[in-house]
Amino acid sequence: VTIRRSDYAPPAFLVDTVELDFSLDPAATTVRARLALRRNPEAAPDAPLRLDGEGLALLEARLDGAALPPERLEFGADGSLTIQDPPEAGLLETVVRIAPEKNTALSGLYTSGGNFYTQCEAEGFRRITFFPDRPDVMSRYTVTITADRALCPVMLSNGNPDGSGAAEGDRHWVRWVDPHPKPSYLFALVAGDLVNVHDQFTTRSGRLVSLNIWVRRGDEDRCGHAMDSLKRSMTWDEEVFGLEYDLDVFNIAAVSDFNMGAMENKGLNVFNTKYVLASPESATDGDWQGIETVIAHEYFHNWTGNRVTCRDWFQLSLKEGLTVFRDQEFSADMGSRAVKRIRDVRGLRAAQFPEDAGPMAHPVRPDSYIEIDNFYTPTVYQKGAEVVRLIHTRIGPAAFRKGMDLYIARNDNQAVTIEDFVAALQDASGVDLSAFMGWYDQAGTPELAAADRYDPATRRYTLTLRQRMPPTPGQPRKHPLPIPVAMGLLGPDGAELPTRLEGENAVQAGTRTLLLDQAEQSFTFEEVPAPPVPSLLRGFSAPVRLKGVPRDRLRFLAVHDTDPFVRWESGQQYAASVMLEMVAAQQRGEAPGFDEALAEAVSNTLAAAEADPAFAAEALLLPGEGFLADQMEVADPVAIHRVRRHLRAEIGRRCGAALRQAYGALADTGPYRIDGRSIGRRALRNACLAYLAAAGDAALAKAQFDSAGNMTDSLAALSLLADTDGEAREGALAAFHARWRGDDLVLDKWFSIQAMAARPDVIQAVRALYAHPDFDLRNPNRARSLIGAFASGNPAQFHDASGEGYRFLADAVIALDLINGSMAARLVGPLGQWRRQSAERGALMRRELQRVLDTPNLSKGTFEKASKALA
């Protein structure tokens, strides 16, 4: 069934208060729910009282104390319950039985390692009790949990604690009251044998908040960074947005079986252990940064998501795009803004651009879905954040802050729409933002091109910008979007030229933002002393593809631009253009050449690296295989891989001395530290190591692996050794496994590295790992670490001409769909990219998609992904 945005209707009944009594038992938990219902005055007067439900065994149903006779209960095929002849208002009481230990979908209430956890967003609450499970029904919750004292010494839910005591036999109870009304997707319950790391925070207005991170016994000493990130997030949100925490406790529980990264349940965030636990020995620098970002993200949802929530799931980006924007800004403030921006753009291009160019392309605010779970996408999250950033750029930071204040003041405790968000920013800024709604409604990545002309006689310089947007499924025709183009002009010596845009009355230095809001527009600059080189899209001021910048300008900008993003970007685009040409040569059967400028760029980067090692590390990396494939009409993953490998080896050889010198000089001397500079130095050093290994020096990687004192260096070396042949490889992988087999998160890395190795026998190795005793399809992190890493992280092998990679993925998806449909749907994605592959590969991919689609009892989510991919 397709759900459409245009079909929205307000809920028939509202639920003012909810009382939930859980009696926990892994095999048979009972849930008693008392809902104070009343008809919604805004809804049709005869709308039925329908409660969502899924897989619930109903034991009792009463209305205002009286048992409801069976003829007033109508069960839908989807598991829902409709009450016939509903009253205008009343107290509905139901008791249901569920089996958390049998819940392998990890949606609703489930067990992991003997403890109880919930995941309700988007539609998991209906797997716990009968309820109008939609975000525009907001209620106050009181939750009482009873369980065996030994099995569940700790029992948590949303809000503040409100009493506890002994219960029958060996059982005990606790009560939680959440004073803030919330939708059901923010409900959470966690219970089990957990220990907490405790700290506290005093808000600006003096509220003392108890902070706790709940983990399995033994994990306590790996929570320090998460706690520190939480406190910094709380301070930052007060300082930057004036937003304070609003309960007496903030709990975080970490669980190792979790479908996504984390979940912002009110007062009780539930996290994948991957985004909580870290020690220098076991976590990479990337892991540390991931923890900081995700902790901040979930904390920031308390206002953007929880206090102000979504009216319906089409508005998902209202909370997700905005909250990603906020966590990006937080991380930028914590470290290097330029490097953070580069990483975010890299991520956007790796995941979102291909999505926008593929069968699942959808607007930031989708028009329809079959399974909402499939729309927790890079488009809704990352592109959604870019759209918020566009508005931020358009109206400026001060007006943006005023707009946020207004947004929250107007919409607190309400479930609202993206229009409400844009309206607040528009009203606060006085800038007409109506055209920006196009960014929410049109799928696809706009292409931007520039042409320019300089007239020495009049000293006028004209810049013509043009946008076009390719069609996407269901949207054949597009209209132009407002594109803020942050830009500057560089003189022939590389210095920034002060300029005067026609109509302005003074010459002005530095970046200015042009607004391109038509298909084509010209901008004329006056009193320009010499023919300039335009620096466009500074800071990546819009999520577009800037095309056709000539190579000589790219080289010039990569060296001279004042904007670090454009410097990095120009180097990447230059390399990409060289590499794509090499791919074409390779396809014609010509021997690969080499562009000296690439080696020169590496030498220059190394020479200047000391000033900003993290930036240098970004600049040193060649464009990724996926990024290159995304720029080809018909991708050639194998040729791309060969070219990239060849280039890396050439650069490693030609710049060997400089790379070796930098590698030596960048070695950590003092104790291990995770500040930005140390992280940057390690990243740069490992980038040097990778070039040297590509040029054939495996001994250096082996030496680093043997002596590494932290996971970043150890893993960097291991992933290089994994690409080689022979004893060093086998020895390192075995040693790593032996050392870390008790640590799930590290073992995931061991699986991933092998799945992503550049070796001809990878598919067999992946099949063998799938059968490895440490592999567990039911654990989402483990499934991702092997299946996802192979299909998304190893394009050359996944797209092997034999089709074996596709066959493996389809086999895994079919097996996983029976266990966890939502995970299966997520992993099937790479098969959907068949249109961008050769005819032969495309046919093999379609055959596997069809095999998935022909599987009986396929989950809704996997069905949606596979059928849309084939359509």
Which residues are the active-site residues?
298
Residue 463 forms beta bridges with which residues? 452, 523
Provide the 3-class DSSP secondary structure of residue 338: helix
Indicate the residue whose CB is closest to ligand ARG: 376
Q: Tell me whether residue 249 or residue 316 sits nearer to Zn ion (CB atom).
A: 316
Q: How far is the CB of 244 from ligand ARG (least distance, A)?
A: 21
Residues that bind Zn ion (CB under 5 A): 320, 323
- Residue whose structure tokens are 């392309």: 361
DSSP letter, residue 508: B
Contact code string over 733-762 relative to ligand ARG, x by CB under 6 A: ------------------------------
| Neighbouring C-beta atoms of residue 849, cutoff 10 Å | 25
Size of the site for ligand ARG (CB under 6 A): 12
Q: How far is the CB of 131 from Zn ion (least distance, A)?
A: 22
Alpha carbons within 13 angstroms on the beta-carbon side of residue 217 total 6
Question: E strands within 424-497?
Answer: 447-455, 460-468, 483-490
Rounded to whole angstroms, the Cα distance separating 717 from 740 reads: 16
> Which positions ≥6 away from 319 have C-beta within 8 Å?
301, 304, 305, 308, 309, 310
Q: How far is the CB of 273 from Zn ion (least distance, A)?
A: 18
> Which positions ≥6 away from 235 have C-beta within 8 Å?
none
Provide the 3-class DSSP secondary structure of residue 779: coil
Q: How far is the CB of 413 from Zn ion (least distance, A)?
A: 19
Which of ligand ARG, Zn ion, none lies near 373, with the C-beta cut-off 5 to 8 A by kind?
ligand ARG
List the one residue from 68, 83, 260, 849 that touches ligand ARG (CB under 6 A).
260
Q: How far is the CB of 307 from ligand ARG (least distance, A)?
A: 15
From residue 72, how far is each of 78, 79, 94, 100 by CA, in Å? 18, 16, 14, 29
Give phi and psi for 429, each to the nearest 5.
-95, -20
Which of these segments, 260-268, 391-399, 566-574, 837-845, binds ligand ARG (CB under 6 A)?
A: 260-268
Q: Tell me whether residue 338 or residue 380 sits nearer to Zn ion (CB atom).
A: 380
Please give the residues from 104 up to 133 whose contact with ligand ARG meets the rule CB under 6 A.
121-122
Rounded to whole angstroms, the Cα distance separating 251 from 230 reads: 11
Contact code string over 536-565 relative to ligand ARG, x by CB under 6 A: ------------------------------
Which of Zn ion, ligand ARG, none lies near 697, with the C-beta cut-off 5 to 8 A by kind?
none
Q: What is the CA radius of gyration of the chain?
A: 28
Q: Which helix (H) or strand (E) holds 91?
A: strand 89-98
Tokens of 700: 């250096």
List the one residue from 35, 92, 249, 263 that touches ligand ARG (CB under 6 A).
263
Which of Zn ion, ligand ARG, none lies near 836, with the C-beta cut-off 5 to 8 A by kind?
none
Dihedral of the alpha carbons of 367, 370, 376, 377, in degrees to the nearest 10: -70
For 1-50, the DSSP string reads --EEGGG----SEEEEEEEEEEE--SS-EEEEEEEEEEE-TTS-TT--EE
Q: Tell me whether residue 226 or residue 260 sits nearer to ligand ARG (CB atom).
A: 260
Q: Tell me whether residue 297 or residue 545 sits nearer to ligand ARG (CB atom).
A: 297
Please give the residues from 265 up to 324 whose contact with ligand ARG meets the rule CB under 6 A.
297-298, 320
Alpha carbons within 13 angstroms on the beta-carbon side of residue 673 total 11
Among the residues of 762-829, which ranges form H helices? Answer: 762-770, 780-783, 789-793, 795-798, 804-819, 821-827
Rounded to whole angstroms, the Cα distance separating 516 from 499 reads: 18
Q: Tell me whether residue 376 or residue 740 sits nearer to ligand ARG (CB atom).
A: 376
Which of ligand ARG, Zn ion, none lies near 263, with the C-beta cut-off 5 to 8 A by kind?
ligand ARG
Q: Tell me whether residue 10 or residue 261 sits nearer to ligand ARG (CB atom).
A: 261
Rounded to whole angstroms, the Cα distance separating 364 from 382 reads: 9
Which of Zn ion, ligand ARG, none lies near 817, with the C-beta cut-off 5 to 8 A by kind?
none
Rounded to whole angstroms, the Cα distance separating 547 from 597 reads: 21
Which of Zn ion, ligand ARG, none lies near 79, with the C-beta cut-off 5 to 8 A by kind?
none
Widest Cα–Cα separation across the chain: 96
Tokens of 392: 């931020």
Q: Binding to ligand ARG by residue 344, rule CB under 6 A?
A: no
Which of ligand ARG, Zn ion, none lies near 262, with the C-beta cut-off 5 to 8 A by kind?
ligand ARG
Judge contact between 90 and 70, C-beta under 8 A. Answer: no
Q: Tell me whether residue 237 or residue 373 sits nearer to ligand ARG (CB atom).
A: 373
Rounded to whole angstroms, the Cα distance separating 593 from 646 reads: 10
Which of Zn ion, ligand ARG, none lies near 260, with the C-beta cut-off 5 to 8 A by kind?
ligand ARG
Q: How far is the CB of 319 from Zn ion (least distance, A)?
A: 6
Judge contact between 828 and 821, C-beta under 8 A. Answer: no
Rounded to whole angstroms, the Cα distance separating 549 from 554 reads: 7
Which of ligand ARG, Zn ion, none lies near 179, with the C-beta cut-off 5 to 8 A by kind?
none
Give phi and psi for 678, each to the nearest 5.
-65, -40
List the one residue from 314, 325, 353, 376 that touches ligand ARG (CB under 6 A).
376
Which of Zn ion, ligand ARG, none lies near 312, with the C-beta cut-off 5 to 8 A by kind?
none
Rounded to whole angstroms, the Cα distance separating 345 from 627 reads: 11
Which of ligand ARG, Zn ion, none lies near 121, with the C-beta cut-off 5 to 8 A by kind?
ligand ARG
Q: Tell me whether residue 298 or residue 344 sits nearer to ligand ARG (CB atom).
A: 298
Q: Tell me whether residue 125 or residue 241 sits nearer to ligand ARG (CB atom).
A: 125
Q: How far is the CB of 652 from ligand ARG (least distance, A)?
A: 40
Q: Tell me whether residue 308 or residue 717 sits nearer to Zn ion (CB atom).
A: 308
Q: How far is the CB of 121 from ligand ARG (least distance, A)?
A: 4
Tokens of 729: 């490889």
Q: How far is the CB of 275 from Zn ion (least distance, A)?
A: 12
Q: Binding to ligand ARG by residue 568, rule CB under 6 A?
A: no
Which of these segments, 224-232, 254-262, 603-611, 784-792, binds ligand ARG (CB under 6 A)?
A: 254-262
User: Dihedral sign, CA of 428, 430, 435, 439?
Assistant: negative
Q: How far is the CB of 311 from ligand ARG (least distance, A)?
A: 16
Q: Tell me whether residue 262 or residue 722 sits nearer to ligand ARG (CB atom).
A: 262
Rounded to whole angstroms, the Cα distance separating 529 from 455 reads: 10
Tokens of 514: 């042009």
List the one residue from 264, 355, 636, 748 that touches ligand ARG (CB under 6 A).
264
Q: How far is the CB of 416 from Zn ion (least distance, A)?
A: 16
Residues that bind ligand ARG (CB under 6 A): 121-122, 260-264, 297-298, 320, 373, 376
